[in-house]
Structure 1
């Protein structure tokens, strides 16, 4: 009856949905629902205006004969979430965390610790599957432009959903669908007349794109229409700046592999051949690792890529590497001594055969 995922993914499930928790006036919605089936662990939260559901494929049993995971669903009350999120931060991100229902409690077990929270599995949470299914299957409203009004306070909640989300709207008064990587959410539109798009009457003055063009026509007609690609300046790129996005790093690594291969073929000394071979092989390995990480966890891949770019731009990667080696239990002092000894041997005069 338990599921296992790594600590990083459990923390991310909570982070992607925490902004959507309902207030304590509705106890059933004042928390995050952890819901598990045979394949995924879900985290779900809603305040009736927005709903967010994130999922992660949990670890399958090692034995093919093992019984499938029995479904369970517990709501973690909002007051208990800070303790859980703090406990997760003390667990190494790659460490497995097993989530086990135990009556009215959920037990979280890591290799070096355990946390048990009291929940109420009988709390009547909404049928979130049925609700999201209804929203994904809602038919477009005909006879009106799709031009919904959205509360900006609610829109800010989606910044933790994913780095990029897709938006789908089918009508001015139907829920807006928000789609991310292993993420599904929705936001209720607001009533434009009630919330300010009016001139003291009961008429929405900006109900269609044509109304917007009319309202702004006098000022915008002073210039010809252009596109962002031609109107906005492109910031200069420093040739020494490290790439900061996954696509930039991927391009840079593959370019390095091909460039090193060409230089390897043209090298005229064994030392140069070894250097180009090492550079090409290292770039290819880095590309494969990044590609695998991006497939498993796009958010973590983007975060690591940006942090690595900052470290490269900082210029102190030897210090970063020294600290990382020591933290991993290696002996960087020994490595340095061995490198100095190899360098000294190369600098000795070679015997001349007579």
Structure 2
């Protein structure tokens, strides 16, 4: 009984669900449930008011290269999670980690070491599959418009679910469905406001109540959409893009422009320059697309950091330091380039 996943993906499964762990008053919910089947490894946590399940496909159904994992389900105690997360941070993200339940422990084995966590192999956990299936199959209530009351403290727990999530509310007293990339969750509506009063007696319990209460404040202007009401600040032409969507657009535009210029170039130097620009832009796009698929949050961080480095204007220094850190000799590259340029000038 074991499953293998790289350390980055295992850490991400934990990060996406850790905020939903229950407190120690209910031991069965005081941790993250690792649940493996023959195709996915799931991380699940619930505090009874929210439930979150993230998954990672560790085995393709039609793959013939490796044998599928034997299903298992174990709960990692909340008290052991800091040690596990710190252990994962000490290794490269691509390192494989094999998770094996045995002898009252959950063993995490990597090329550089092993971590064993004591667990209760018989610990019960909520039927998370049944709970989330029930939420996905909810039918909308009839009558009044759906206007559930949601605790804002609980809403903050979805910050690590995904960069963007979809939500579905089907009734005032039914759980709200939260959907992200390889992520499924739900939040229960609340019946009590933060001040202790029941929402059933709230004067703003319906949309009509809200319109009535705000009518005098909002009636001085026409109803318009935010897209037309709120201006978008222009991006300076000399600033690098900080949003993934903008970077993707810039890279693909560069590929198409370079291809167009390539066919119209009249010198070998121009042809080489346009070809290099197009190939580099396409390569960067494919890498960014793969990174965004693996971890949208990390991709956004890398794009923002890269924009800062480009705006700094010292990318040659950044590249020099990166080359040395990777074990290369940038001085040798520099000398070889100068020698090549000198030969060309001499030949001319």
Comparing 200-209 with 30-39, which one deviates more in the overlay?
Answer: 200-209
In the other structure, the counterpart of 2:131 is 131
Q: Distance in 1 between matches of 2:297 and 2:202?
A: 39
Q: Distance in 2 between matches of 1:37 and 1:90?
A: 27
Q: Distance in 2 between matches of 1:201 and 1:233?
A: 36
RMSD: 2.2
Q: 1:188 to 1:62 in 2, by over 3 A?
A: closer
Contact (CA 8 Å) 2:7, 2:92: kept in 1 or not?
yes
SS at match of 2:186: strand
| 2:178 is the counterpart of 1:189 | no
| 2:206 is the counterpart of 1:222 | no
In the other structure, the counterpart of 2:262 is 264
Contact (CA 8 Å) 2:191, 2:200: kept in 1 or not?
no
In the other structure, the counterpart of 2:50 is 50
In the other structure, the counterpart of 1:278 is 276
After superposition, residues 99-138 of structure 1 pair within 5 angstroms as 99-138=99-138
Contact (CA 8 Å) 1:254, 1:287: kept in 2 or not?
yes
Deviation of the 1:79 alpha carbon: 0.8
Once the two structures are superposed, what CA deviation does each residue of 1:215-271 show, in whole Å capped at 9, x if it has no partner? 011111122222111211211211122122222122111111121122222222211
Contact (CA 8 Å) 1:3, 1:59: kept in 2 or not?
no
SS at match of 1:348: helix
Comparing 172-181 with 133-142, which one deviates more in the overlay?
Answer: 133-142
Contact (CA 8 Å) 1:108, 1:114: kept in 2 or not?
yes
Q: Distance in 2 between matches of 1:89 and 1:195?
A: 37
For 1:320, which of 318, 321, 327 is the aligned residue? 318
Once the two structures are superposed, what CA deviation does each residue of 1:94-121 show, in whole Å capped at 9, x if it has no partner? 1111111113111111111111111112
Deviation of the 1:291 alpha carbon: 2.6
Deviation of the 1:62 alpha carbon: 12
In the other structure, the counterpart of 2:334 is 336
Q: Distance in 2 between matches of 1:232 and 1:30?
A: 44
Q: 1:96 to 1:60 in 2, by over 3 A?
A: farther
Deviation of the 1:13 alpha carbon: 0.5
Deviation of the 1:82 alpha carbon: 0.3
SS at match of 2:211: helix
SS at match of 1:160: coil
Q: 1:167 to 1:60 in 2, by over 3 A?
A: closer
Q: Distance in 2 between matches of 1:104 and 1:311?
A: 49
In the other structure, the counterpart of 1:148 is 148
Contact (CA 8 Å) 1:36, 1:71: kept in 2 or not?
yes
| 2:70 is the counterpart of 1:70 | yes
Once the two structures are superposed, what CA deviation does each residue of 1:16-49 show, in whole Å capped at 9, x if it has no partner? 0111111111111111111111111111111111
SS at match of 2:159: helix
Comparing 142-151 with 303-312, which one deviates more in the overlay?
Answer: 303-312
For 1:253, which of 238, 251, 254 is the aligned residue? 251
For 1:239, which of 214, 237, 240 is the aligned residue? 237
Q: Distance in 2 between matches of 1:61 and 1:293?
A: 23
Q: TM-score, normalised by structure 1?
A: 0.92
In the other structure, the counterpart of 1:26 is 26
Q: Distance in 2 between matches of 1:186 and 1:276?
A: 50
In the other structure, the counterpart of 1:166 is 166
Deviation of the 1:147 alpha carbon: 0.3
Deviation of the 1:316 alpha carbon: 2.5
Aligned length: 348
SS at match of 2:301: helix
